[in-house]
Structure 1
Amino acid sequence: MILKSLLVPILAGVLTINGIPPTKTVSPPTEATMATSQYTVVSGDSLYKIAKKFGVSIATIKNVNGLKSDSINPGQVLSIPGTGATILGFTPLYVGSRGSAVSTLQKNLKALGYYTYGSITGYYGTVTRQAVSNFQRAYGLAASGNVNSATNTQIWHALVKKRLVAHTYRYTGVPYKWGGSTPSGFDCSGFVYYMFNYEGVKFPRTTSEEIYTMGTRVTSTANLRPGDLVFFAVNRPGVISHVGFYEGNGKFISATTSKGIYTYPLTTGYWAKYYMGAKRVY
């Protein structure tokens, strides 16, 4: 069996879980448990075999890859999140590179809105380099135009968060429930916990204040990207007490006591006066 996997480590911090009690025991994430890989289906494979090999559930594989049935085909590339993903390393891409890895890069950047050429060529030329440079600048990376492991990781994370944000809308109107972290009811940090884990990213069940200690600070609202976490001090000045997902276009989605899961403007209206900043935790 041929295994093709991609190095995509996840930013992780050591957290002290306090405040809201967890709905189930969740260990702090580690690089090993949070690795993600891409796997190319070969003849004789089944979702059962692949799930068993990587130590994840069939449901997780289907959800992450948007599969409606258990049917898969040789040559199909599956994203495998979570425990058990094997890291074999990453080969840098640059002008002159060719092949399926470049095609995948172009497709991913196209999905994110950075690769605008009319076709997927599989050749890393000036158009692809410019698309990579634009992505790197948007995510605060050195704009070399080449894809190293850090850029590759950030592209993958951006894709996961794009899908995550799209999936948040289905929960619009779900009621607020203190300590809730399931579709029967969420609090703000419970919604963050649920959505990350739903997308195959292991994330601890903890408070908004603790989540604020994770990741990298986003210095300006102009630099926010979909899936970044936005934080607010509602109860006491300077003390984080609320968190939500930035969804783009100056809006965020969160679980609030008044409307449950709902989308709000970030820089105007009620929430603007409580805004404390943002973090990119994945």
Structure 2
Amino acid sequence: MKKIDKIIFTILFSLSACVSFAQGISIPVKEDGSVSRLRSDISALCASRYAGRRSGTQAMAHVSEWIASRFASLGLIQAGADGWFQSFVLSDGGIGRNVIAKLEGTSGKYIVLAAHYDALGNSGGVLYPGANSNASGVAAMFEIARLLQGGNEPTGSYDGIIFVALDAHFYSYMGAAAFVDALPSGKVRLVAVLDTIGASSTPVDVSRPRYLMALGGEKYKSSFKRCASIARMEIYYEYYRSESFTEMFHKRIGDQSVFVKGGFPTLVFTSGVTMDTNKPSDLPSTIDYNALRYRCLFLSRWLNLTLRLTR
């Protein structure tokens, strides 16, 4: 954790010299159904009864059950080794649990959409709620699953999609490693990771709060542009326009690094670190629900298009 905190501090220090922190610049929230669902899911994940979602705790077992119930409510299919779940042993002897669901396709191949759901727990009586990191990613995954099923049924050959809520991000990405080890060879065409996707307080461009960074996404610029214009999103392909930060966050740290090392084509979607990342102040009230709603719209449209591009 100390290493990650040092990296975050370095990034924020660098950002202070090149971008303005932009609290409160986003368009006022339209409290539609999408925003209400996102707000409800993030608030639920950050509830005090879950004690900060620390891996291996009894509270975390309850979180995994809640996530499974949300997958079920969305009409998804169980895809874990044990129903919704894939259990594994943590480095301290505790039990971690990924929660896995899917929508079937016809091609026999899958796109994986992943988001870690653990956070830092409760330390010395101080709760680390982990709203942006990474309740936002899990809530976005739910909303994307809902949106993907809201349009016309695809025809012809198209990929399925696996949704995985990863445990043990803060245990050196052990949940991602367990998931990769169990993936069937040759079945996964693409992995997309959602990590800290709910903020707008540290934008790449202060005049464009409706933005998203898509690391590893250069190959998909054409389809991104098409879908981003509908959702009025600005897409960036580097982490705050830095090649070194992009290399670090795409290939060396985060759950995505496990997929990259496993040889899977991998993208990570993020709104970037903020002054609240990995702090007790990472609360549901810091989320830009309006921007998150449009990010979900963009991602669902892009995934819907990509599922049909079977090779």
Please report the TM-score for the alignment, with normalisation by the length of structure 1. Answer: 0.31
- The answer to which structure has the higher helix fraction is 2
TM-score (norm 2): 0.29
| Greater RCO structure (CA 8 Å; 6+ sep) | 2
